[in-house]
Chains A and B, each alone.
Chain A
Amino acid sequence: MSEPTGVIHDIGYRHYDGVRLGRAHATLSLTLHSLRGVFGLGRTARSKIIPFLLAGVMMLPAVVSIAIMALVKQEAIGYTTYAVTMQAVLAIFLASQSPYTVAPDLRFRVLPLYLSRPVTLIDYVGAKLAAMTVAMFLLLAVPLTVLFVGELVIDLPGPAHTSAYLTSMAGAVAYAVLLACLGVAIASFTPRRGLGVASVIAFYLLTSAVSTVVAATMESVNNYTAAAWAWMINPFFLVDAAVQVGLFGAAPSAPTTYPAGAGVAVAILLMLALIALSVTALVLRYRKAAAR
């Protein structure tokens, strides 16, 4: 250990008599710390590559779209279809970054240190979910906003797509919450980061493949109602059906329409149930981890 070179004098130990903030401050600090971690800020340069690369890829359609708008004065990509079009990128980001929020704390046993502080287990889980939710929201909302600003600046003929933009932002919130809950919940079950990444991506591939195959099969036997339901197995189409189409009346981004009427209510309930299930699984998981 190197000795201090520039020390003039040792002032001894000083006590701290400033303010001591409570749980809310600690939870917020943990959220910010985790959010920075998701984007690799304050970490090594290597851990910044993937999140920023994926964030860059998410920006591409917006940039290209702005260029098209500027050149041919025509809308290129719809706001509400953005998430569905870019679902693979969102899924890869979720899979690669959500294990980062939970796995190291389990693997390197940082969790007991957090619990020896004023925060409770629920605060901890809440902070981790909030961090991942904000990250997913930023990933989606920033390109949408850039696209909207671009549209306003270019001033396309006809009215601006303000309502479509707002709908897509509401959708972004729903996407962020659902995806973050699913991703963090799945990732929390293993202290190994690689395994967490694989589990989340496997979950996405499975739901997306199943929904496509079932929908295609149903369509081939002309059962379009069943096909419409089948699309919603994929969480990306589920949020589209429940929020963007169901609540705000946007055009569906799936190849077919979604179930209408009671179907909207079912889609919303299904989405909320998935969120609740993930949160419950997380809390149970951490109850068990904390007891060790």
Chain B
Amino acid sequence: MTILATEGLTRRFPRVTALDQLTVTVGSGVTGLVGANGAGKSTLIKILLGLLEPSAGSAQVLGMDVTTHGAEIRRIVGYMPEHDCLPPDLSATEFTVHMAQMSGLPRTAARERAADVLRHVGLYEERYRAMGGYSTGMKQRVKLAQALVHDPRLVLLDEPTNGLDPQGRDEMLALIRKIGTEFGISVLVTSHLLGELERVCDHVIVIDGGKLLRSSSIAEFTQTTQTVTVEVEEGQEALAARLTELGETVTAHGRMLLVHVRAPETFDTLRDAVCELDLCLVRMEQGRQRIEDVFREPVNV
């Protein structure tokens, strides 16, 4: 099922082209939108919410055109902005209830939904306190709660893991996965770290400079881009030569060797090669895929 689709979507600002002929289709489930800062992620989200007119091309969200059905789209789509957006003098409960009413829920329903959603995002007693005293993690949870409170069919999450510590990041990612699977709400989540999206997304879209770099399912993605980092004490060149001989693709990266994983057998080849050469293996780890690695590789959409 197609949740959103863009066709030749272009947005020009006086000085910069934020989106350039972007054509993508997104199905249900969790979709990651990856790009460096200024790649056009936030612009795309604003266009999808019907808040920004496209300069050319078209976009559809849940089967509705963004330029003509903006208000209808905004009723059934949730949005979590990247920046802070919480008034410090209100409690999380009051704020979430108010935002539910702003989405068209009657007062009693809004109260019920707010209590439910705040529990789901993991805010308990502290939800009655003024939000000014919240930690970044708690603020991110409230921002997520207000995006979910009206039970949207799609949520647009702009950098939800921004500013979180590793544990908070993991919890947020787990929550996003839960929204996509258990809650049955489609998710479009942006990030500049491909590695963290790999863990929760079914599908990943990579954009750079407003252009589509790649759009593929996560399985395809990791298969074609996975690398393993190897560090040996000495004899790095010998190992590289040996592996190349065995048909593996190896790139030297400082003291490390990046070995492209063709198939699971690559790991065996690697182990055997290290043993044969009798090298002292310091480290061997699966490469955390970063956005830059995708940019370095040739585009094969």
The number of chain B residues with a CB under 8 A from chain A is 44
- The interface residues of chain B lying within 8 Å CB-to-CB of A110 are 85-87
**Minimal Cβ-Cβ distance residue in B for A30:** B102
Residue of A nearest to B125 (CB): A2
B96 to chain A, nearest CB (A): 11
Cβ distance B90 to chain A, nearest Cβ, rounded Å: 7
Per-residue A-contact encoding for B248-272, CB less than 8 Å = 1, 0 else: 0000000000000000000000000
Is A221 part of the contact surface with B, judged by Cβ < 8 Å? no
Cβ proximity bits B63-95 to A, threshold 8 Å, 1 near / 0 not? 000000001001101010101111111100010
Tell me the residues in window 85-138 of chain A with beta carbons closer than 8 Å to chain B beta carbons.
Answer: 104-105, 108-110, 112-120
Contact B85 A1 (CB under 8 A): no
CA distance A110 to B139 in the complex (A): 13
- Residues in B whose Cβ lies below 8 Å from that of A109: 81, 83-85
Q: Does B273 contact A (CB under 8 A)?
A: no
- Using an 8 Å CB-CB cutoff, how does the interface string of A1-40 with B read, 1 for contact, 0 for none? 1111000000011111011111101100110010000000
Asked if B124 contacts A4 (CB within 8 A), the reply is yes
State A29–B94 Cα separation when bound (angstroms): 12
Using A16-B105, A16-B109, A108-B84 as known contacts, say yes or no to A113 and B75 having CB atoms under 8 A apart. Answer: no
**Contact check: which of A12, A33, A116 meets B79 at CB < 8 Å?**
A116
A290 contacts partner chain B, Cβ-Cβ < 8 Å: yes
Complex Cα gap A3–B87 (Å)? 25
Q: Is the CB of A118 within 8 A of B75?
A: yes
A105–B95 Cα distance when bound, in Å, is 12
**Is the pair A20, B104 in contact by a Cβ cutoff of 8 Å?**
yes
Contacts of B71 in A (CB 8 A): 23, 118, 120
Partner of A118, one of B86, B94, B103, B122: B103
Whether A114 pairs with B104 at a CB distance below 8 angstroms is no
B104 touches which of A4, A21, A44 (Cβ 8 Å): A21
Residues in chain B near residue A217, CB distance under 8 A: none
A207 part of interface (Cβ distance < 8 Å): no
Q: Is A18 a contact of B116 with CB atoms below 8 Å? A: no
Across the interface, do B116 and A43 meet the contact criterion of CB distance under 8 Å?
no
- Give the chain B neighbours of A190 by CB distance below 8 A: none
Residues of A contacting B: mostly: loop
B101 pairs with A26, CB closer than 8 A: yes
A145 at the interface (CB under 8 A from B): no
| Contact B124–A3 (Cβ < 8 Å) | yes
Residues of the A chain whose Cβ atoms lie less than 8 Å from the Cβ of B120: 13
A-B contact count (CB 8 A): 110
Which of B77, B84, B104, B130 has the most A CB atoms < 10 Å from its CB?
B104
Of the residues A13, A21, A116, contact of B106 by C-beta under 8 Å: A21
Contact A112-B151, Cβ < 8 Å, known A13-B182, A44-B89, A118-B104: no
Contact digits for B128-161, partner A, Cβ 8 Å, 1 yes 0 no: 0010000001100000001000110000000000
**C-alpha gap A119/B51 in the complex (Å):** 11
Give chain B nearest CB distance to A42 CB in angstroms.
6
Contact A1 B126 (CB under 8 A): yes
Q: Within 8 Å of chain B (Cβ to Cβ): is A81?
A: no
- The answer, among B75, B88, B89, B122, for a CB contact under 8 Å with A1, is B122
Set of chain B residues within 8 Å of A234, measured between Cβ atoms: none
- Confirm or deny: A47 has a beta carbon within 8 angstroms of a beta carbon on chain B: yes
Chain B positions 166 through 187: 1 when the CB is less than 8 Å from some CB of chain A, otherwise 0: 0000000000000000111000
Residue of A with least CB distance to B101: A29
Alpha-carbon separation in the docked complex, A23 to B146 (Å): 18
- Near A by CB (< 8 A), chain B positions 28-77 give 49, 51, 71, 74-75, 77
Contact A26 B102 (CB under 8 A): yes
The reply to whether A1 and B124 form a contact with Cβ atoms under 8 Å apart is yes
In chain A, what residue has the closest Cβ to B178? A13
CB distance from B170 to the nearest CB of A (A): 14
Bound CA–CA A115/B151 (angstroms): 18
Q: When chains A and B are docked, how far (Å) is the Cα of A119 from the Cα of B74?
A: 9
The answer to whether B113 touches A16 (Cβ under 8 A) is yes
CB of A119 within 8 A of CB of B102, answer yes
Q: Which of B51, B102, B122, B137 has the most CB of A within 10 A?
A: B102
B87 touches A104 (CB 8 A): yes
Asked whether A2 lies within 8 Å of B150 as measured between CB atoms, the reply is no
Q: Which of A60-88 contact B (CB under 8 A)?
A: none
Residues from chain B with Cβ under 8 Å of A2 in the complex: 124-126
- Does chain A have a CB within 8 A of B111? no
Pairwise interchain contact B83-A20, C-beta atoms closer than 8 A: no
**In the complex the two chains form, is B103's CB within 8 Å of A117's CB?**
yes
Residue B98 lies at the interface, judged by CB distance under 8 Å to chain A = yes
What CA separation (Å) do A266 and B125 show in the bound complex? 59
Q: Is A47 touching B103 in the complex (CB atoms < 8 A)?
A: no
Q: By the criterion CB–CB under 8 Å, are A1 and B105 in contact?
A: no
Q: List 9 A-B contacts (CB under 8 A).
A: A1-B123, A2-B124, A20-B75, A25-B104, A104-B87, A109-B85, A112-B51, A113-B146, A118-B104
Given contacts A13-B182, A26-B104, A109-B83, 4 further A-B contacts (CB under 8 A): A21-B105, A21-B106, A30-B102, A117-B102
Which are the 10 A-B pairs with shortest beta-carbon distances?
A: A16-B151, A29-B101, A116-B79, A20-B104, A21-B104, A13-B183, A117-B102, A118-B71, A26-B102, A109-B85
